[in-house]
Structure 1
Amino acid sequence: MTATQTASLPRWARLPLALVCGLAMGLAAAPWNLWYLGFAGLVGAFWLAGVAPKGVRSAGTGWMVGLGYFGFSMGWIVEPFMVDPAETGWMAPFGLLGLGGGLALFWALAFWAAGHLRRWHMPALVIAWTAAELARGYVLTGLPWGLIGYLWLPVPPIQWVSLVGPYGLTFLTLAAAGLLAEALPRPGAFRQAPRPWPARMGFAPGIVLGLALLAALFGGGRALVPPVQDLDGRPVVRLVQPNAPQHLKWRRDMVPVYYQRQMDYTGAPAEEGREPALIVWPETALPMLLHDASDALSQISLLAGKAQVVVGLQREEDGAWYNMLALMGPNGTLRQVYDKYHLVPFGEYMPAAALFAKFNILGLASRAEGGYTPGSGPMLLGLGGTLGTALPLICYEAVFPQDVHAAPARPDMLLQITNDAWFGSFSGPYQHLAQARIRAIEQGLPMVRAANTGVSAVIDGAGRVLAEIPLNREGYLDTPLPPPMRLTVYSKSGDLPVLLMLFVLAGLLWRPARREAERETD
């Protein structure tokens, strides 16, 4: 690719267009859910990759796409810093730029790698971009928030995660977008240049193959949607949502208000005469440490009657603090304790804390005496009877497919408690809910979700929200618990098949890529 060939799309046009493509992709996220605009932005990103010069400038295109996507869709990241603006508000722009720009580096690397293969750039970018998303979910504790495959949540293709998982669906989505992009016309200076595969075979193949893959995604997804389950006779769960905004949650005069609100909801009469078998409070709902909570736990259990209760709180042991949940039996006994083990960097602990402390940067972790200590790992709660077992997930542990897959055995439900007041009152809580729905689809399991400010919900194994308490509302909800659905393919295989597929496909591209590189050096 020569300098004259790139003159028809100069940097001043290419980089803003890349940013616009990323912004369009961000509109596929909740609460907008404009999946068609998100997919169009993805097609545009592939088109730009095809006309961008290779090397650093190709990486720049990918980084701008990522900056637009992550900076827009994850704009809620400024909310935690604004809980106490006088102390941490100055960090907000750095947090937004650091998160958006940092995650965009994964995409920049994918564009850079694929940019070296002009004739094979489309399949190379599909492979590299999928690998970048997979790496984003694991590297440096991982953050698979808003994976590309999630754009399908409002429509049937999202059901493919039960077969191939979120990274497999990301691969299929990228392949469909890449095929359609290859059929689009290039700027004038490119019409005489060799076209990358498969568009050099003509206009029709890209359109036909791309539309065929889209049809398979929609048709297969629709076929994978399981029927609505009969909930007659199923045990009832009660979700408690106190709606305590984060800036008021720990204020001395408000702590008893929110505590009493949850107590009232716990002891409220059963709806339609069906007593709940399980009552769930959200994350850090109890305003005291575990070793000080025996009287409070007894009072909660007394109000709950025969129901078991899950309560989120904190504990301290030998100077270490833990974000935890407690399971209490009907007689007030503490049956099980689970400590959160996948902690939020800069939120629940500070990486390189000693280094940041030199600059007086303690971050949000300073709320818990310098940060939480991770628990020992995933475990199951033995609820017994028709409730069965539950895999507990605290806050953003539900964002990680691998954390759910790591359960010691298949549970009967997923149980998430969270405090989404940290995510603000607009996009963040809805995106967190969306990813909880995807975890349910992947595993074919119901998700019981109690959130401080919402959205508290019961979700079935197809990702359908059966009942919910809206965002920024206080209240409680009694609803039947759906039974588990069939064992999904993804729940057995995890992410390993996608990883192996990427290695095989990269190997198949190796020889033609090497020949192309040799021709360029001759």
Structure 2
Amino acid sequence: MSVGVGGLEAPRAADRGPSALERLANSVILLWGWRRYALIFTAGALFVLAQAPYDFFAVGFLSFPLLVWLLDGAVVGGNASLWQRARPFFALGWWFGLGTFLFGLWWVGGAMLIESETYIWALPIVALGLPLLLAPFYGLATLLARLFWDEGLGRIFALAFGFGLAEWLRNWVLTGFPWNPVGFATMPVPLAMQSTYLIGTIGMNAAAVFVFAAPALLGSGRHRRVGLALAFLLVAAHLSYGAWRLDQPIEGTTLRTRIVQPSIDLTEKWDGEVRDRIFATMLDLSKGPPDDRGAPIELTLWPETSVPFLLTERPDALSALGKLEPAGEGLPDHLTLVGAVRAEGEMGTTDERYYNALVAVDRAGLITGAMDKVHRVPFGEYIPFASLFSLVGVEQIVAGPMTFEAGVQRHNFTLPGGLIAAPFICYEIIFPEEVDAGSAGADLLVNVTNDGWFGDTAGPYQHFRNFQIRAAETGKPGLRSANNGISGAVDARGRVADALAMNERGRIDLSLTVPKRAEMRLSPSVVGLGVVAACGVLALAFTLLGRRRMN
């Protein structure tokens, strides 16, 4: 007998009632009807707070345990068909995804307000349509988890496997849109970004779901100590590796760079009467001695489609670009990378083709190279199934007055000093596998974009976060120029070296340290898929052990 306060007998552990978390879990599990879906929709919406610019990652420890407990209660009768058994799991993931994507991507509809007199009708369609397209991925995640669902740790691994695989599919299904993957919720600061160098964002997606969902074991299920210990070890290893990697010195070649952010009003962007004024503004921002009084500038970077006309038709513009930095004996070479529209074929005929390109102009005012955007934005730069959509009057919405063709292949730019830059235009930077493959053999990343379509919303902050994480993931520093922000530079660990605020007109002059090119290594995306597969194997193992125990 054990003695409690005042000599009274203390209750034995077996005699204690359920804990507060167990009571909460039971009440969630027993929810029925619309209340279940209202709660999971709310949990998904709240999870948006874990993403940039809010970075309140702790909300993940609420959203995912609620998802686990609601899935625990997603049961049907023994005579139910296969679809009847699967439907509750898919529905819960779908509603979770709808809440996440609706509140996380609402700002996409803001592009309709730039030319509101023409496209205001499309605002609700865009704001709701994209979440409706993405929500089934999370429905698939919970449906896959259903295959291994049990009463213990197996279901936590199963959920990590399901979300890991679904997030990987978001990279390429329907042309791909892996915006705000769940793994980003665990990476609000560079300390927490370094694990992507090992297992990529793909692996971090699975690891994040496991850690966020593990506290659900406190409310229901077996293997509590084992599950929580594994989650704690994962977090400890994640942060320890991050601290170690950030502590490693970065040594290499210095590149003197000027990043320009013009903050041009998009309503004037393609106005023929103000094109020269826009170009003159860009030139004025790009001229003059370095603001930091450092060495002469070697590379000047302009944003996506910053030149409002065809460069090949304006030799005077090319000459002006060549004269941005003074020439002379002892001065370094200089290159300007400008976002511009590139044209091919005979203008005014059916043979004319336009490309969203990044063009290199040297000191002599000559175009020395160009890289056309390969991964275009659907409905922004081209219309998929254009003949079908034209029947209902749907045309290109945001990118410009023409439809862009896709670039054939990626290639890099050689910068002054022999450094190799891998260019990515606009949202190409959000695709981890494409960036990993496209930057192979390069020394640094270059990202140009025009996020002005989305105003001062969460969108540009989330886009910049993608840029940061790609740098940490590849181990390469990055330069970014955006029309209205966020422009800046990050080192090879994803730490911000300097940046311009949203809607600020100005430039950044800085020295970027470019480390020695790393030897070939196994792609973090491949390792990440291995992490996802391991979660599936462990889910199966725990499920089989659980069934054997019951027998």
Q: Secondary structure at the match of 1:355?
A: helix
1:500 Cα deviation after fit? 4.3
User: Residue 410 of structure 1 is aligned with which of 428, 431, 441?
Assistant: 441
* Partner residue in 2 for 1:335: 368
1:19 Cα deviation after fit? 1.5
C-alpha distance in 1, partners of 2:391/2:519?
Answer: 49
Aligned partner letter, 2:338: V
* Partner residue in 1 for 2:22: none
* Partner residue in 1 for 2:275: 255
* Partner residue in 2 for 1:481: 512
Q: Secondary structure at the match of 2:300?
A: strand
1:240 and 2:260 matched: yes
User: Residue 177 of structure 2 is aligned with which of 123, 138, 143?
Assistant: 143
Is the 1:39–1:151 Cα contact (8 Å) retained in structure 2?
no
1:29 and 2:51 matched: yes
1:445 and 2:476 matched: yes
User: Residue 208 of structure 2 is aligned with which of 139, 149, 173?
Assistant: 173
Q: Secondary structure at the match of 2:342?
A: strand
1:253 Cα deviation after fit? 4.9
User: Residue 400 of structure 2 is aligned with which of 367, 374, 395?
Assistant: 367
* Partner residue in 2 for 1:492: 522
1:377 Cα deviation after fit? 1.6
* Partner residue in 2 for 1:378: 410
User: Residue 289 of structure 2 is aligned with which of 269, 276, 280?
Assistant: 269
Aligned partner letter, 1:22: G
Is the 1:79–1:424 Cα contact (8 Å) retained in structure 2?
yes
* Partner residue in 1 for 2:68: 46
1:462 and 2:482 matched: no
Q: Secondary structure at the match of 1:159?
A: coil
Q: Greater shift after overlay, 112-121 or 297-306?
A: 112-121
1:412 Cα deviation after fit? 1.4
Distance 1:264 1:128, change over 3 A: same
Q: Structure 2 length as normaliser, TM-score? A: 0.84
* Partner residue in 1 for 2:309: 288
Distance 1:367 1:261, change over 3 A: closer
C-alpha distance in 2, partners of 1:485/1:23?
Answer: 43
1:313 and 2:340 matched: yes
C-alpha distance in 1, partners of 2:437/2:482?
Answer: 23
Unaligned runs of 5+ in 1: 186-198
1:38 Cα deviation after fit? 3.6
Is the 1:240–1:282 Cα contact (8 Å) retained in structure 2?
yes
1:413 Cα deviation after fit? 1.0
C-alpha distance in 2, partners of 1:512/1:86?
Answer: 58
The higher relative CO (CA closer than 8 Å, separation ≥ 6) is in 2
1:394 and 2:425 matched: yes
User: Residue 227 of structure 2 is aligned with which of 202, 206, 225?
Assistant: 206
* Partner residue in 2 for 1:195: none
Q: Greater shift after overlay, 373-382 or 405-414?
A: 405-414
1:252 Cα deviation after fit? 4.3
1:463 Cα deviation after fit? 0.5
C-alpha distance in 1, partners of 2:160/2:55?
Answer: 23
Aligned partner letter, 2:202: Y
User: Residue 20 of structure 1 is aligned with which of 28, 38, 42?
Assistant: 42
* Partner residue in 1 for 2:82: none
Is the 1:378–1:406 Cα contact (8 Å) retained in structure 2?
no
CA offset digits 1:300-352 (Å, max 9, x no partner): 21133342111111022121110011111122121111111110111111110
Q: Greater shift after overlay, 281-290 or 148-157?
A: 148-157
Is the 2:200–2:527 Cα contact (8 Å) retained in structure 1?
no
1:429 and 2:460 matched: yes
Is the 2:203–2:529 Cα contact (8 Å) retained in structure 1?
no
Aligned partner letter, 1:172: A
1:157 Cα deviation after fit? 2.7
CA offset digits 1:456-495 (Å, max 9, x no partner): 1011011111111111010111011122267388x63242
Distance 1:517 1:446, change over 3 A: same
C-alpha distance in 2, partners of 1:169/1:245?
Answer: 38
Is the 2:262–2:505 Cα contact (8 Å) retained in structure 1?
yes
Is the 1:160–1:224 Cα contact (8 Å) retained in structure 2?
no
* Partner residue in 2 for 1:225: 246
Give the RMSD, CA atoms, in angstroms. 2.8
Aligned partner letter, 2:177: L
Aligned partner letter, 1:161: T
Is the 1:322–1:374 Cα contact (8 Å) retained in structure 2?
yes
Identity %: 31
Is the 2:111–2:398 Cα contact (8 Å) retained in structure 1?
no
Q: Secondary structure at the match of 1:448?
A: strand
User: Residue 159 of structure 1 is aligned with which of 194, 202, 206?
Assistant: 194
1:152 Cα deviation after fit? 2.4
* Partner residue in 2 for 1:188: none
Distance 1:511 1:446, change over 3 A: closer
User: Residue 126 of structure 2 is aligned with which of 67, 70, 95?
Assistant: 95
User: Residue 379 of structure 2 is aligned with which of 339, 346, 368?
Assistant: 346
Q: Secondary structure at the match of 1:235?
A: strand
1:48 Cα deviation after fit? 2.7
C-alpha distance in 2, partners of 1:302/1:6?
Answer: 67
C-alpha distance in 2, partners of 1:511/1:282?
Answer: 51
Q: Secondary structure at the match of 1:114?
A: helix
Distance 1:366 1:485, change over 3 A: closer
Aligned partner letter, 1:248: E
Q: Secondary structure at the match of 2:55?
A: coil
Q: Secondary structure at the match of 1:480?
A: strand
C-alpha distance in 2, partners of 1:405/1:341?
Answer: 15
* Partner residue in 1 for 2:159: 125
C-alpha distance in 1, partners of 2:174/2:453?
Answer: 22
Unaligned runs of 5+ in 2: 1-25, 76-84, 328-333, 346-351
* Partner residue in 1 for 2:17: none
Distance 1:396 1:255, change over 3 A: same
* Partner residue in 1 for 2:390: 357
1:76 Cα deviation after fit? 1.4
C-alpha distance in 1, partners of 2:416/2:285?
Answer: 24
1:501 Cα deviation after fit? 4.8
C-alpha distance in 2, partners of 1:488/1:154?
Answer: 28
* Partner residue in 2 for 1:193: none
Distance 1:488 1:136, change over 3 A: farther
C-alpha distance in 1, partners of 2:456/2:343?
Answer: 30
Is the 1:50–1:121 Cα contact (8 Å) retained in structure 2?
no
C-alpha distance in 2, partners of 1:343/1:238?
Answer: 27
Q: Displaced runs of 4+ in structure 1, greater than 6 A?
A: 4-7, 511-520
C-alpha distance in 2, partners of 1:7/1:45?
Answer: 10
Is the 1:413–1:446 Cα contact (8 Å) retained in structure 2?
yes
Q: Greater shift after overlay, 14-23 or 268-277?
A: 268-277
